[in-house]
């Protein structure tokens, strides 16, 4: 029986693990399919305090993991298939194991949204990508399109200029959502061009992507646009499939928590992007992971009839 099982190994889950381990709770972290979560897809994290020169996404994940293990967290590289969170003793199942715990911290993060247009699924890995850090290298000297107008689209679009000769950012409105600093950098970059007020209706190709079918939403003009690849950055959806029938979700499907990371079930806490539709930053995820671990520690003290120190 574990004191606390943490599901997810992004900044939220691993910060929860560091705090829970330092509180001597010997937490178990079940990493999920993508160890480190979305932060590992970021090439250069420039806004995480303490790293004035930036730090690679995978590098910071590695540091989080080392720090958690150093204080006694146990890490398992596995995928949770089922949970039962309603009873006093929580049950967490993977394909091969059944774990029990007094408390559970859900830190399953979110995943990139899809456009849902013809050709998108068929060309994943053949020109369609959701990760510039992973796939940018394959587009050396090529022309790529980036779909979206938020921080991810511009950040990743700028990153792609390291490889591609031309990066076309295609956005459905006439105004970008991204922060001013990123807009300025993109506008100054000679490799970046913008197509505004435009949506993609189809991704076409043969062995790999060669054409996007575009439509201007104002004059309804439709045209073909030649590209070698397309990177899609149109927001994220929280990973709630494991818990959606047990935990309350908000209107946007994020886990509903109070300001102390409590869910509707006793002993179940949620942190990071799976419960945050607003900030979705590595640092806010880490902060909420800390909160969840402290709340779990208090809960376990009560569970065992002890008084939580400082309560």
Which active-site residues does the annotation give? 131, 134-135
Alpha helix ranges (H) inside 107-254 = 132-135, 151-160, 180-188
Least distance from ligand NAP to the Cβ atom of residue 148, Å: 4
* Maximum distance among all Cα pairs of the chain, rounded to whole angstroms: 69
Burial state string for 175-209 with b = 16 or more CB within 10 A and e = fewer than 16: ebebeeebbebbeeeebbebbbebbbeebebeeeb
Binding site for ligand NAP (CB under 6 A): 47, 115, 147-153, 155, 172-173, 177, 199, 233-236, 280
Residue closer to ligand NAP, measured from CB, 65 or 156: 156
First to last CA, the chain: 25
Q: Which is nearer to ligand NAP, 101 or 146 (CB)?
A: 146
CA–CA–CA angle 152, 131, 172 (5° rounding): 45
Burial code (b: 16+ CB inside 10 Å, e: under 16) for 214-243 equals: bbeeeeeeeeebebbbbbbbbebbbbbebb
- Shortest distance in whole angstroms from residue 181 CB to ligand NAP: 9
Is residue 56 a contact partner of residue 43, using CB atoms and an 8 Å limit?
Answer: yes
CB of 47 to ligand NAP, least distance (A): 5
Strands 90-94 and 209-216: unpaired
Give the residue nearest to ligand NAP (CB): 150
Question: Which one, 171 or 298, has the nearer CB to ligand NAP?
Answer: 171
Report the residue number, 64 or 233, with the smaller CB distance to ligand NAP: 233
Among the residues of the chain, which ranges form H helices? 11-22, 57-70, 132-135, 151-160, 180-188, 282-303
Residue with token string 């935990």: 247
Asked whether the beta carbons of 275 and 254 are under 8 A apart, the reply is: yes
Using the minimum distance from each CB to ligand NAP, give the nearer residue, 72 or 112.
112
Pick between residue 72 and residue 150 the one whose CB is nearest to ligand NAP: 150
CB of residue 240 vs ligand NAP: minimum separation in angstroms? Answer: 17
CB neighbourhood size of 142 (10 A): 16
Q: What's the min distance (Å) between Cβ of 186 and ligand NAP?
A: 12
Least distance to ligand NAP from the beta carbon of 80, Å? Answer: 25
């Amino acid at each position: 029986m574990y004191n606390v099982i943490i599901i997810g190994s992004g900044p939220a889950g691993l910060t929860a693990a560091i705090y829970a381990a330092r509180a001597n709770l010997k937490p178990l972290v079940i990493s999920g399919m993508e160890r480190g979560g979305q932060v590992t897809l970021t090439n250069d994290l420039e806004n995480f305090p303490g790293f004035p020169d930036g730090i690679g996404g995978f590098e910071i994940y590695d540091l989080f993991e080392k720090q958690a293990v150093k204080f006694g967290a146990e890490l398992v590289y596995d995928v949770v298939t089922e949970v039962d969170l309603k009873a006093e003793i929580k049950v967490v199942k993977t394909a091969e194991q059944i774990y029990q715990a007094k408390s559970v911290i859900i830190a399953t993060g979110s995943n990139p949204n899809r456009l849902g247009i013809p050709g998108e699924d068929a060309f994943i890995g053949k020109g369609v990508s959701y990760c510039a850090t992973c796939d940018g290298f394959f587009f050396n000297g090529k022309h790529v399109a980036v779909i979206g107008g938020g921080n991810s689209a511009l950040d990743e679009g700028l990153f792609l200029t390291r490889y591609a000769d031309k990066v076309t950012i295609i956005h459905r409105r006439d105004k970008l959502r991204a922060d001013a600093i990123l807009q300025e950098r993109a506008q100054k970059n000679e490799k970046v061009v913008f197509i505004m007020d435009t949506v993609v209706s189809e991704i076409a190709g043969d062995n790999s992507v060669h054409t996007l079918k575009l439509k201007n939403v104002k004059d309804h003009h439709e045209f073909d646009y030649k590209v070698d690849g397309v990177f899609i950055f149109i927001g994220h959806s929280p990973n709630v499939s494991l818990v959606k029938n047990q935990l309350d979700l908000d209107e946007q499907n994020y886990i509903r928590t109070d300001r102390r990371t409590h869910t509707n079930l006793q002993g179940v806490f949620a942190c990071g992007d799976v419960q945050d539709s607003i900030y979705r930053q590595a640092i806010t995820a880490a902060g909420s992971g800390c909160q969840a671990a402290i709340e779990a520690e208090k809960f376990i003290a009560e569970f065992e009839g002890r008084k939580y120190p400082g309560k």
